[in-house]
Chain A
Amino acid sequence: MSFDLENLVSDLDIRGAVLYYKGNVDSETITKALDLVERKLLVTREAPRLRKKVYNVLVESLQNLYHHSDRVPKGYHAARADRFGLVVMEKIGRGYRITTCNFVSAVRVKELEEKLTRINRSTPEEIKELYKDILNHQEITAKGLGGLGLLDIARKTGHRIDFRFKKYDNLNTAFRLSAVVAPV
């Protein structure tokens, strides 16, 4: 069987997921996903603080896919080659786990792995200071990107960011990122 991004989430409860989506991640898709999750969180009467954290982490996770997914490898079946990704949001105990998968160019793997490892080794205080330092000093790109998304997820969740890579071919790697938002 050929590789599919879904292979990376075979251990997750996709059927019982609050949100599951695989496909092109455009602005409209993000709006719809956020709207759906917001309504579900209201129906389940989650505490406002948890609801807000989940919404924030979902925004950053989806926009990470939008801005940072590399093109799908040649030969991989996708309706569109750019901005292709997968997202799963599951209820885990009293909190939520948000997982995203996408392709990254093999040349970006080392940098991404180092960045995530550094974040996971940092204390909450170090993450806060790093966030402020980047916010204040790093140049903003034309799209308004400043490399704060992963730090923000780490800061909002207070947990390690789980990540894994799966080599697709010599040029492309599949990437999975998971963050858990626990009740506070």
Chain B
Amino acid sequence: MEPIVIEGTPKTPSIRFDAKDGVFEIKGRSIPENSVEFYKPLNEWLDQYMQVPLDKTVVNIRLEYFNTSSSKCILDVFKRLEAIHRSKHDVEINWFYEEDDEDMLEAGEDYDSIIKVPFKMIEIVE
């Protein structure tokens, strides 16, 4: 399965999901006006990966900003990861937030309370 790699823009995050090593990353800003359009290929890729996931998948979320429209799309990504976890495969989500960014920490905690996948909150200290 080919990795999905998308360069970041001022409004959309960089994406690197690689089925070879099972390491997925979403990084930067996710504030597009139409987030469904942006996340559609990502979720389609995950639908394929879910058929034959690796024993362990590590997901790194390093978002500086995201809008409420993206928050739903990110939840869709997590729901697919939850399905992989339910099928007895290891999945770990690392939620990075900058020092003192309580809003981003709270956002991670929201997802942690909704999604039944091990979440790790990791503070980035400058």
Residues of A within 8 A of B (CB): 27, 30-31, 34-35, 48-49, 52-53, 55-56, 59-60, 63, 66-67, 128, 131-132, 135-136, 140, 142-146, 148-149, 151-152, 156, 184
Contact = CB atoms under 8 A, between A and B. Distances in A.
Interface in B67-126: 67-73, 75-76, 98, 100-104, 106, 110, 113-114
Interface of B: 10-11, 31, 33-37, 39, 65, 67-73, 75-76, 98, 100-104, 106, 110, 113-114
Contact of B72 (A53, A132, A140, A156): A140
The 4 closest A-B pairs by CB, nearest first: A148-B68, A144-B35, A144-B69, A144-B36
Nearest to A156: B103
A31 to B, nearest CB: 6
Contacts of B113: 132
Question: Binding site of A, secondary structure by majority: helix, strand, loop or mixed?
Answer: helix
9 contacts: A31-B10, A31-B11, A49-B100, A56-B103, A63-B69, A66-B33, A128-B110, A144-B34, A144-B36
Contacts of B39: 144
A144 B43 CA distance: 14
Given A67-B33, A144-B72, A135 B114 contact: yes
Contacts of A55: 65
Nearest to B31: A59
A52 B65 contact: yes
B32 to A, nearest CB: 8
A165 B83 CA distance: 46
Given A148-B68, A149-B68, 5 more contacts: A52-B103, A63-B67, A128-B106, A135-B75, A144-B69
Contacts of B72: 135, 140, 144, 146, 148
A128 B105 CA distance: 13
Contact of B69 (A34, A128, A136, A145): A145
A48 B69 contact: no
A148 B75 CA distance: 13
B68 A152 contact: yes
B13 to A, nearest CB: 14
A146 B69 contact: yes
A15 to B, nearest CB: 29
Contacts of A144: 34-37, 39, 69-70, 72-73
B67 A136 contact: no
Contacts of A128: 106, 110
A97 B29 CA distance: 23
Contacts of A59: 31, 65, 67
A156 B67 CA distance: 12
A59 B32 CA distance: 10
